Amino acid sequence: MHTALWWETENNAVRCGLCPHNCLIAEGRTGICRARKNAGGELVSLVYGNVVSMHVDPVEKKPLYHFHPGSQILSVGVTGCNFRCSFCQNWEISQAEAGSLPTEPLSPRQAASMSGEGGSIGIAYTYNEPLINAEWILDTSRLVRKAGRVNVLVTNGYINPKPMAELMPFIDAANVDVKAFNDDFYKKLCGAQLDPVLRTVEAMHKAGVHVELTTLLIPGKNDSAKEIEKLTAWVASVSADIPLHFSRYHPDYKYTAPATDMESMKRAHDIARKRLKYVYLGNI
């Protein structure tokens, strides 16, 4: 266990300030993410340096199409997530309890040393929701940057402004999931809210982080022409140069609706291209 950042004591419990859930965690319990625990009145990270998945991937797999194209990047993940998406495509690790899967210890110094192996340009914090492991990312990203390599987040963007501001100076690029452009979707299907995600994207872009976005299109839930219009209008208001990836949904985890049809994918692409320069279809 590693002492966490961004928390305070409150009424014989601890209040986590990492993400907008702001969990009030009783002694011996964990927050929504399952990765942060109240241990003796102190908030600790259960996933710091406990890697469950690691691989050198093409950077396009993140997906990042406009950031060092053709390059390889060391990709690292732990367990847990602060969302509860019933359609999660990576639920085996994102919805796992800390300690329930085999892990390998990896210190920030070791990770930074490995970040250039196999032609890698740096580290992508990915596979699960990386920001629940923000302390390790902060310690590691400093060393990766010092070594002259890059740091990439693949994230749902659900983080409070203060920890994000501390991380951003060391982050070079991010792919942020904007899972829908309606708050009802976020509340019912993800157990979260839309607005903090939008604020994160805006703050990243303003700070000079290279940002690309991904939206998984789910039939009848977030793929209507009206919603795609609203989504792309917002992206364009941040910057028409931000690449937007529409990913095709297929049944997974607890969600059994049929896979997204290609007509819906093409319609979303055509709508988005009216406002945005770079629109891609994935998982097709």
What are the extents of the domains in the chain?
Answer: 2-45, 50-282
Rg, Å, the chain Cα set? 18
DSSP 3-state of 227: helix
Q: Does residue 1 have a pLDDT over 90?
A: no
- The amino acid occupying position 136 is W
Average pLDDT estimate for 227-249: 98
Those residues whose C-beta lies under 8 Å from the C-beta of residue 48, and which sit 6 or more positions away, are 1, 2, 133, 135, 136
Asked whether the predicted pLDDT for residue 48 surpasses 90, the reply is: yes
The whole-number average pLDDT for the span 9-22 is: 96
Residue 55 pLDDT class (50, 70, 90 cuts): very high
List, edge to edge, every strand of the sheet that includes 7-10.
Answer: 7-10, 13-16, 24-25
Burial class of 200 by CB neighbour count within 10 A (0 to 12, 13 to 18, 19+): buried
Of 119, 178, 176, nearest to 153 (Cα)? 176
In this prediction, residue 89 has a pLDDT band, given cuts at 50, 70 and 90, of confident
pLDDT value for 238: 98
User: SS3 of 106, please?
Assistant: coil
Which tokens belong to 241? 């140069």
* Lowest mean pLDDT, pick from 82-96, 100-114, 163-177, 231-245: 82-96
Look up the CATH architecture of domain 50-282: Alpha-Beta Barrel (3.20)
Mean pLDDT of the chain: 96
Kindly state the average pLDDT of the residues 210-232.
97
Strand partners, 36: 45
What's the whole-model pTM score? 0.96
Mean pLDDT over 127-138 rounds to: 97
Q: Are 221 and 252 in contact (CB under 8 A)?
A: no
Residue 99 has pLDDT above 90, yes or no: no
Q: Using 50, 70 and 90 to split pLDDT, how confident is the model at 90?
A: confident
CB 249 within 8 A of CB 219: yes
